[in-house]
Amino acid sequence: MEEKACKHLKKFPRLNPDGIQENVSVADLIDQTFLAYNAGRLREGCQLVSRKMLPGNGLVGMSLTGALTPAGLGRSAIIPLIQGGYVDWIIATGANLYHDLHFGLDLHLHSGSPFVDDIKLRDKGVIRIYDVLFDYDVLLDTDAFVRQAIQAPEFQAAMGTDEFHYKLGRYVHEREKKMGLPTQSILSAAYQAAVPVFTSSPGDSSIGMNVAAMALRDSKFAFDVTRDVNQTASIVHWAKINKLNSSVILVGGGSPKNFMLQTEPQIQEVMGIPETGHDYFFQMTDARPDTGGLSGATPSEAVSWGKINPENLPDCVVAYLDATVGLPVLTAYCLSRTAKRPSKRLYEKRDETLEALRAAYFKHGTVEKIQRPQH
């Protein structure tokens, strides 16, 4: 009986790590000691990204949810992923991109404490995001920057959020250069690398609030969310027709997570284009499936929607942990274990990928093209 059990377990590595040594690298620490529970899932996720997502020039999309940029994770963890060519397209909450602007404008945020008197902070004009503190003027200065930018002629039209963020990123980049700063903003880094950045709920942030206010002043700018739905689907479709893997890294959940995963149902269910789902999937989350917080997003459940290729289900990993812990670890691991890749500059291919999707839709789709009356 004991011999059979041992024989059965031979395919599993023995859990008997060596003691942690001085000056161990982050990547070695993960490979050697993150062996069980959510540490084990984080190791599996890091190895999945490094060994399967990134090789072969595959496309990697990243969704960002939760107050990550106010905590400095934009500059510390996300910008290195963009600059290293490890992330090819991004979907983020508008709040993450709004607070990202503070860094590009050299406005100051401070590491504080969650155990403070919020009434006193209010009286002193101090804003708190858990243990991150900053002056109320940081918001006012950022608002003024957004409003000034969107008054430019190039913004006086409807456009997808990727186009909006690309143009806004150029303004941020120019401001950084004028102040003699290194790249400190995600939008600036994405602009330089032509990495498309989308927002799934553009009205749900201070950027959207400023856009709405300017509409009352007869601004002609508007978000084209329909283009966003098709544009994100076109990126995945473009990867598949070019024989590239399509992988997703989901940092947190929420709307960006769903917006990234719905690309496959958009291709398969709505457009009727034959497809099998994303190839690789890694999510860091503290949500639970039984409360609806991970609705449609656990790997096995996502398979039922056509979001994930069922053949690759073993290569889908969920680590239930705080993204402020997991994301810096993932970045350090990628930088240590995987060579940097040139940016695919997908933003510059946006019209090409969309037209390819349109052609496939008319070839495979069940809905006829709408015939408009001739004038």
Q: Which residues are catalytic?
A: 307
- Nearest to 64, CA basis, from 197, 214, 247: 197
Q: How many whole angstroms separate alpha carbon 107 and alpha carbon 143?
A: 12
Residue type, 197: V
H/E element holding 372?
none
- φ/ψ of 319, rounded to 5, equals -110, 120
Asked if residue 133 lies in contact with residue 127, where contact means CB atoms within 8 angstroms, the answer is yes
Asked if residue 285 lies in contact with residue 252, where contact means CB atoms within 8 angstroms, the answer is yes
Residue type, 223: F
Distances in whole angstroms, Cα of residue 11 to Cα of each of 2, 7, 8 = 16, 8, 7
- Helix H, strand E, coil C: the string for 303-365 is HHHCCECHHHHHHEEEEECCHHHHHHHHHHHHHHHCCCCCCCCHHHHHHHHHHHHHHHHHHHC
Q: How many whole angstroms separate alpha carbon 162 and alpha carbon 230?
A: 12
Asked if residue 238 lies in contact with residue 344, where contact means CB atoms within 8 angstroms, the answer is no
Q: How far is C-alpha 225 from the geometric centre of its chain's CA atoms?
A: 17
- φ/ψ of 335, rounded to 5, equals -65, -30
* 3 state DSSP class of 133: strand
Asked if residue 54 lies in contact with residue 246, where contact means CB atoms within 8 angstroms, the answer is no
Neighbour count for residue 4 (Cβ, 10 Å): 8
H/E element holding 270?
none
H/E element holding 366?
none
